[in-house]
Structure 1
Amino acid sequence: MRATLDRPPVNALDMASYRWLGETCAAMRPDECLLIDAAGHVFSAGHDRGEDATAGGLTVGAAALTAVLRCPAPVVAAAQGPAIGAGALLLAAADIPLIAADAWLKLPELDVGVTVGHAILSRLLPPAMASRALLTSEQIPAAGLDAVLVRPPDELARAAEDAARTLLAKPSDLVSLARRSWGERERAAAAYESEVADFQARRR
């Protein structure tokens, strides 16, 4: 199944987008594959600045990201352009993340008043580099993402589809067992939930 972010001009994630992502993931079967991509020139600019990012918005957004981590089906994500904030975390939550060679990530979380994201970002970056990215909000080029498949822009869509087909060709019961038994995705989801809960408790 393909889930395409399509909220011009920058695919900002609002409450409806988060709920759509969560519902899409919950509806997937283990023998399927979810391919998340985006329309336009930006994968996602992250949380919609027109909506609260520190209270209910954070709760709904966090639920969507953990839903991706806990998706019953393997997840492929293809960033054809910049992935910012929650958009970067969405890419990091995929089993197989891909990014265009001219794209980049940025985590301006502290700039917008939140401190969460390290647990998921550490799936793409070494923990110390994830900390630096969150503290400095620096731009990270695709070439600096060793855990991501980097492809020329005109080859990204095909590479993502090939990755999905590769997963679908594997025995689905073994894919499902592997994703559960490794436990890495659940640990990331639980750690992220802990980050969010701690942040919200300290903000009260």
Structure 2
Amino acid sequence: MRVRREGPLVRATLSRPPVNALDSAAYRWLTETCAAMRSDECLLIDATGHVFSAGHDRREPPAGETLATGVAALAAVLRCRAPVVVAAQGPAIGAGALLLAAADVPIIASDAWVSVPELDVGVTVGQAVLRRLLPPAMASRAFLTSERIPAAQLAAAVVRPPEDVAGAAADAAAAVLRKSPALVSLARRTWGERERAATAYEAELAAFQSRPRDV
């Protein structure tokens, strides 16, 4: 995992071969990266390899302490002071799909797909964030079925041929940075939808953590 500053563009790259699974360290890295951003910058999150992210690292219990760390990381992306562009060059699964959904500008390769198998691993959180990428009914369906949703069905995402994803992400970040940082910051605050998604996501976590023991 690495962060590179290119003037006001900050490029954060997931690099955890072979599938960029997200563990506690990766979640903390995302949280810290977002916390360090200024409102006059743009954060571009991308990844190495053929998979954007396979989601939560199965070597850590999905419903344990790491879940709260992951929720905090994705909430930090939603609350980032800087606009966020996410470039998914391959499949985005579980927390990887939610990371794509948390972007201001989500970009995905045309041959990629998203999937949220959260219920399969015993976790119920994330639908509030996924609704930023999919219509509410489709987001619910995706959670209940764990089906693969092809890039072409992601109406909120920018879909590009695989070889064009990196360039499209750089172009999107440049377009944002050409605008008045003060106006961009004001717009993102007054729209309020990112904060609503973060708050709803945290409420999902609280409900999951307080579930009866037999659930």
TM bucket (normalised to shorter chain) is over 0.9
For residue 165 of structure 1, report the CA deviation from its aligned partner. Answer: 0.3
**How does the TM-score come out when normalised to structure 1?**
0.99
**How does the TM-score come out when normalised to structure 2?**
0.94
How do 1:6-155 and structure 2 match up within 5 A? Answer: 6-155=15-164
SS at match of 2:28: helix
For residue 203 of structure 1, report the CA deviation from its aligned partner. Answer: 5.0
Q: Give the distance between the partners of 1:202 and 1:160, measured in 2 at CA.
A: 40
Q: Give the distance between the partners of 1:55 and 1:16, measured in 2 at CA.
A: 15
Residue of structure 2 aligned with 1:4, choices 7, 10, 13: 13
Q: Give the distance between the partners of 1:24 and 1:197, measured in 2 at CA.
A: 25
**Which amino acid in structure 2 is aligned with residue 13 of structure 1?**
L
Whether the 8 Å CA contact 1:55–1:200 is kept in 2: the answer is: no
Deviation string 1:4-53 (CA, Å, 9 cap, x unpaired) is 00000000000000000000000000000000000000000000000011
Q: Give the distance between the partners of 2:43 and 2:93, measured in 1 at CA.
A: 21
**Higher mean displacement: 176-185 or 49-58:** 49-58
- Alignment gaps of 5+ in structure 1: none
**Which amino acid in structure 2 is aligned with residue 99 of structure 1?**
I
SS at match of 1:99: strand
Q: Give the distance between the partners of 1:110 and 1:155, measured in 2 at CA.
A: 33
Matched pairs, number: 204
Per residue, is there more helix in 1 or in 2? 1
Question: Is it true that 1:193 corresponds to 2:202 in the alignment?
Answer: yes
Q: Give the distance between the partners of 1:203 and 1:112, measured in 2 at CA.
A: 17
Q: Give the distance between the partners of 2:12 and 2:89, measured in 1 at CA.
A: 14
Extract structure 1 runs of 4+ deviating beyond 2 A. none
Task: Tell me the equivalent position of 1:165.
Answer: 174
Residue of structure 2 aligned with 1:180, choices 170, 189, 194: 189
Give the root-mean-square deviation of aligned CA atoms: 0.6
Q: Give the distance between the partners of 2:13 and 2:90, measured in 1 at CA.
A: 13
Q: Give the distance between the partners of 1:5 and 1:135, measured in 2 at CA.
A: 28
**Which amino acid in structure 1 is aligned with residue 13 of structure 2?**
T
- Alignment gaps of 5+ in structure 2: 1-9
Q: Give the distance between the partners of 1:88 and 1:24, measured in 2 at CA.
A: 19
Q: Give the distance between the partners of 1:55 and 1:183, measured in 2 at CA.
A: 30
Q: Give the distance between the partners of 2:20 and 2:91, measured in 1 at CA.
A: 10
Q: Give the distance between the partners of 1:10 and 1:126, measured in 2 at CA.
A: 27
Whether the 8 Å CA contact 1:38–1:80 is kept in 2: the answer is: yes
For residue 55 of structure 1, report the CA deviation from its aligned partner. Answer: 2.1
**Which amino acid in structure 1 is aligned with residue 73 of structure 2?**
A
